[in-house]
Amino acid sequence: MSFNTFGRVLRFSTWGESHGPAIGAVVDGCPPGLALSEADIQPFLDQRRPGTSKFTTQRREPDAVRILSGVFEGKTTGTPISLMIENVDQRSKDYSDVAKAYRPGHADYAYDAKYGFRDYRGGGRSSARETASRVAAGAVARLVVPEVDIFAWVSEIGGDAIDPAQFDPAEIANNPFFCPDPVAANRWEKLVDDARLDGSSLGAVVECVASGVPAGWGAPLYAKLDSELAAAMMSINAVKGVEIGDGFAAARLRGEQNADPMRPGNEGPVFLANHAGGIAGGISTGQPVKVRVAFKPTSSILIPVETVTREGEASDIVTRGRHDPCVGIRGVPVVEAMMALVLADQKLLHRAQCG
């Protein structure tokens, strides 16, 4: 099935293809009375916007969002908020290569197998362009959880990781990589540029922390906060792995190392560690919620790869066009948006059951 909707009571649905007239999202279930205008959304879209440096795709999209419903006199009404972003730079490119042969690592073959055919222009529905809709929806979700502070960064590109000792959140906005370590950012300039010039691409790891989440959001089982976050993050294009807290590293610890001891504090218990990433038994503990997300290198590269055509003949393919040499970079605002959307949904769900 298609199922282009995410969330349980704060739900959003996205629509649109890379090269159609527009893309958009409908956010349903937003509480009424929140101040909302395009100005609350646009800055987040600008963060994700392509064409802002040579390290991202050169497609020029203003990504200007319009609110078509759900807001009256500057406030949300509680009815669906329709957000639309027009596609502007749909360069009249020749897609005959992509139409004829499958790009390995892309969804081309899987789409044809499922649907019998596909919109091959720029990836169609499978394009990362869809994530603009998520970022717009996420900006609305942030208004639902004003008590929460969410920020993400790139912690690793092509296997080159930041130095945790150099971590400085203030640096994130100072370079085109959302990198909190200025030394790593310098290294990455050359690393990413080299990959770009090679016609290759690089993977990345994005980390995200949400602080201010009170204890008690989430659920014991299939709406577990960590399960919802895993679904949300893994639904982003190019993501292949998700960790909560220590993630796979926790599998190498012993029980006493992995415990997050507690001590009395002035406002409730204080944790002495956060291996759990702020979630125990599927429910937030009041500690910062921490997620790590692995982005594969984009499959759109200029280096020829062996493939087959729709007719089943052997071929080589290169993916010309305007592509991100490291798609994980622009994943940062998308990861933040998904974090906001999950937390806002869980907040409302918690309120439903527990008042």
Residues 174-193 that bind a second copy (CB under 8 A): none
Told to check if 268 binds a second copy by CB under 8 A, we report yes
11-16 and 71-72 strand pairing: unpaired
Any binding-site annotation on 54?
yes
Residue 173 in the binding site for a second copy (CB under 8 A):
no
What is the enclosing helix (H) or strand (E) of 136? helix 131-144
- Residues numbered 143 to 162 that lie near a second copy (CB under 8 A) are 156, 158-159
Of residues 189-248, those binding a second copy (CB under 8 A): 195, 200-205, 214-224, 226-235, 237, 239-248
C-beta separation of 89 from 122 below 8 A = no
**Minimum distance from residue 85 beta carbon to a second copy (Å):** 11
Nearest to 296 by CA among 263, 331, 320: 331
Near a second copy by CB under 8 A: residue from 44, 55, 102, 177: 102
CA dihedral 233, 234, 235, 237 (to 10 degrees): 100
Q: Which of residues 276-295 bind a second copy (CB under 8 A)?
A: 276-277, 279-286, 294-295
Residue span 110-149 as binding mask against a second copy, x where in contact by CB under 8 A, dash where not: xx-xxxxxxx-x--xxx---x-------------------
Contacts 24+ apart (CB under 8 A), 245-251: 245/274, 245/275, 245/276, 245/277, 245/278, 245/279, 245/290, 246/275, 246/276, 246/277, 247/277, 247/292, 250/275
Whether residue 243 contacts residue 252, with contact meaning beta carbons closer than 8 Å, is answered with no
Site membership for a second copy, residue 343 (CB under 8 A): no
* 238 assigned binding-site residue: yes
CB of 23 to a second copy, least distance (A): 7
Task: Name which of 94 and 174 has its Cβ closer to a second copy.
Answer: 94
348 touches a second copy (CB under 8 A): yes
The CA-CA-CA angle for residues 241, 2, 203, to 5°, reads 25
321 touching a second copy, by CB under 8 A: no
Q: Is 126 annotated as a binding residue?
A: yes
Which residue, among 252, 248, 255, 340, has the nearest Cα to 293 in the 3D structure? 248
Contact 182, 48 (CB under 8 A): no
Identify which of residues 117 and 168 has a Cβ nearer to a second copy in the complex: 117
Q: Please, what is the minimum distance in Å from the beta carbon of residue 351 to a second copy?
A: 5
Confirm if 184 and 166 have CB atoms less than 8 A apart: yes
Q: Is 79 in the site for a second copy (CB under 8 A)?
A: yes
Residues annotated as binding site for NADP(+)? Answer: 48, 54
* Residue ranges of the binding site: 48, 54, 125-127, 237-238, 281, 296-300, 322
